[in-house]
A and B are shown apart, each in its own frame.
Chain A
């Protein structure tokens, strides 16, 4: 019911309309709601009209019956328990505070399952990334075509990132040039030593990592990216230079490694 609700009214036959208005007036008089003048007029009419007196009496009897209608009823003893039961069922037992926390917490089995799923996902991402970078490293060390980690043909990426990989929603891909120099020398170890000393003698003092076996020695020279071009130019005459392109994800690394493989059985570089 709202304040703006219209009066539902009553559906009365025409001859009841007058009776309805008279009854409204009787009710107002019984309730003491008539103003002084209306009240005096009603009471004069009442004193002179036995029919109105009977109507007033009948009205009072009716309202008395309404007031005493049916007598009081009692709720059954089980009422409180039944209400509580309804509340517990509807709220799945979470309503009252004494067990609210216990019942509303996530079961530990679900928690453990979620943790395991997260660990498995991390391991999967880490392993996947490691596999990609291992393949790329193998390609750059042996001068063979490594499977393109990101669809780049025989391209090899730079050194793997040192931070643990995290899955990206939309990784930014960049193209970089990877240099690979193959040098032929009957004594790879001596040649590698000579080259290494030469690189160390420069002002830049590049970081050189050496791997050697009976057939070949591999030098990995790491330097700032902006010095790669000049470095490559300075050593390109030593052997056969191969340039490949690779795609990397994320920001370009600050440094880059140039791989120099000194191979005992590699073909000699073409004479200029």
Chain B
């Protein structure tokens, strides 16, 4: 979407144009759901929270000043809601983070693994590593988890991550290095205890 198209879309959103809202949800639903899913680790909860993200977008659209791209603003809302939810879970001492290998239909099916390993041994190893990564991510602080997901899973630019998190770009980079190191340590711990 070009900047001009985005501006027009935002203008229509501010005019409470229902068709514009439908366009926004249709356009960003998968991206938002993927981001939320990777941050929360639970498909059902991710679906619920993703809908809340769009409700919040529509509720606060008048506050969007256009300083950043609309999509960045949208991801910021999604990230903030996820962080709040994760903190809530931590407060309630509920580890609701489920395995990412549970499918969207909730039938326990595995999500498609993107792996180049052709042999069953390598597939098994790849799967084990993925499980280790999921567990390690779940053990990280909300901030480290968010930074890793935004950069290494969603492949966002540092500038956008800075806007979304409210950190400056340099801090994003340095904290990302620490977050990755913390993740690797957690993965190593998983293998040591497994």
Contact = CB atoms under 8 A, between A and B. Distances in A.
Interface of A: 1-3, 5, 7-10, 12, 16, 19-21, 23-24, 26-28, 31, 33, 58-59, 61-63, 65-76, 79-80, 82-84, 86-87, 90, 95-98, 100
The SS class assigned to the B binding surface is helix
B171 to A, nearest CB: 7
B50 to A, nearest CB: 7
Given A20-B185, A24-B181, A68-B114, A75 B143 contact: no
B70 interface: no
Contact of B22 (A24, A70, A84, A98): A84
B170 to A, nearest CB: 10
Interface string B176-194: 1110111111011000000
Contact of A8 (B22, B112, B113, B143): B143
B34 A96 contact: no
A20 B181 contact: yes
B62 interface: no
A153 B85 CA distance: 75
Interface string B124-141: 001001101110010001
A75 B30 contact: yes
Contacts of B29: 75, 79-80, 83
A9 to B, nearest CB: 8
A3 B171 contact: yes
B76 to A, nearest CB: 10
B178 A7 contact: yes
